[in-house]
Amino acid sequence: MSIKENALLVSVIFNFKNEERNISNLISRTKKVFDDGRLADCDLELIFVNDASTDNSVQEIVQNSAKIKTTIINMSRNFGRWPCLVAGVKNAKGDVLIYLDSDLQDPPELILQMIDRYREGFEIVHAKRTKRIGENPFKLIITNFAYRIIKFLSSVRLENNVSDYKLISKRVANHLLEFHDRDPYVRGIAVWLGFKQTYVNYERQGRNSGKSQYPLFGKGPALEFLRGITSFSTSILYLLFTVGIVSIFAAFLLSIYFVYLKLFGNIAPGVATLSILILILFAIIIFFIGTISLYLARIIEETTNRPLYIVDEIIKINEK
């Protein structure tokens, strides 16, 4: 694509790992969006952040990005979504930045609506899913429940079913780079930043090809849930303290009850009752310790001085 004078440069950032079967279609559909007359005053820049792919994804990008200004950032190993996003934003030159995954579940065609909202004065445009086609019903139930918990506990206003697919202005991108979090809840950060925000709705499609890199109980939704409840809220710590006080009070009342039964010659509750009470209290204690451990783990992660990511190589295509 030729560089137009005084054009709005749009940087589209893709995070990917082993998506060789989707790359050609992804680039083709994205380019087609910018061939639309409504974006005649826009230039396109593609940023591909390779999170240690082991397939031919990079070769597919090189072969299919003819005439498009493209940057490929090869990470030295697998670092995850947030480091890849930061690397992409740091290397993007656009006036507007849009980031999304490369599996084509989030349609590039939505970029048209996002840029329309940007021209209306919005600096952050979130993509909100109205349907999630082809996904496991059990996973959807668990995910929706998790969203509600995160929303309830969070100190910022979070909407349900908002994806990582977003448009941000250059000004917002500069503020995003000021974050030093090592493993944040990315969707929460976008809301926390403030500025004028809006939403565009879409139906999330099933994967075009390949397998998800974020299974439910792997490095995907489960960890995302933990990030959500620990990144933007300390409410759960106060909740645990309250439950602890209530448990102590309940144990005190039970002790008085058992003493009363003993003094007045009644038959004390059996071993089964005491065992159940002990198990309940033990479970509460373990839950407390586990929750506090989550926060301690985040403290350890945030206080290490290691770099957020390491880039192995940056490849420039059609750079002028």
How far apart CA 119 and CA 217 sit, in angstroms, is 39
Which stretches of the chain are DSSP H helices? 20-34, 57-64, 81-91, 111-119, 137-153, 170-176, 186-192, 221-231, 235-263, 271-303
Mean predicted confidence (pLDDT) in 28-49: 88
Q: Please give the single-letter amino acid code of residue 247.
A: S
Q: How far is CA 258 from CA 261, 269, 280, in A?
A: 5, 8, 18
CATH number for the domain running over 8-137+157-211+308-317: 3.90.550.10
pLDDT digits (tens, 9 = 90+) for 209-254: 555 555 444 455 555 555 555 555 556 665 666 666 666 666 666 6
| pLDDT tens profile 87-133 | 999 999 999 999 988 888 888 999 999 999 999 999 999 988 877 66
Q: Which residue has the tokens 């996973």?
A: 139
8 Å CB contact between 231 and 157: no
Tokens for 170, please give them: 């250059």
Band (289; pLDDT cuts 50, 70, 90) = confident
Contact 13, 98 (CB under 8 A): yes
- Average pLDDT on 267-280 reads 60
Q: Which has the minimum average pLDDT: 15-24, 186-195, 262-271?
A: 262-271
Chain Cα centroid distance, residue 197 = 18
Q: Of 95-99, 209-213, 255-259, 303-307, which gets the smallest average pLDDT? A: 209-213
* C-beta of residue 226 within 8 angstroms of C-beta of residue 232: no
Which carries the bigger pLDDT value, residue 91 or residue 267? 91
List Cβ neighbours of 182 (8 Å cut-off, separation of 6 or more). Answer: 82, 301, 302, 304, 308
Closest to 45 (Cα-Cα) out of 82, 21, 14, 20: 14
Distance CA 42, CA 47 (A): 16
Return mean pLDDT, the chain.
76
At residue 216, the pLDDT reads 43
Strand order through the sheet with 42-50: 197-204, 124-132, 162-169, 96-101, 8-16, 42-50, 69-75, 311-317
Tell me whether strands 96-101 and 162-169 are parallel, antiparallel or unpaired. antiparallel
Higher pLDDT, 9 or 187: 9
Spell out the domain ranges in the chain: 8-137+157-211+308-317, 235-303
User: 25 near 60, Cβ under 8 Å?
Assistant: no
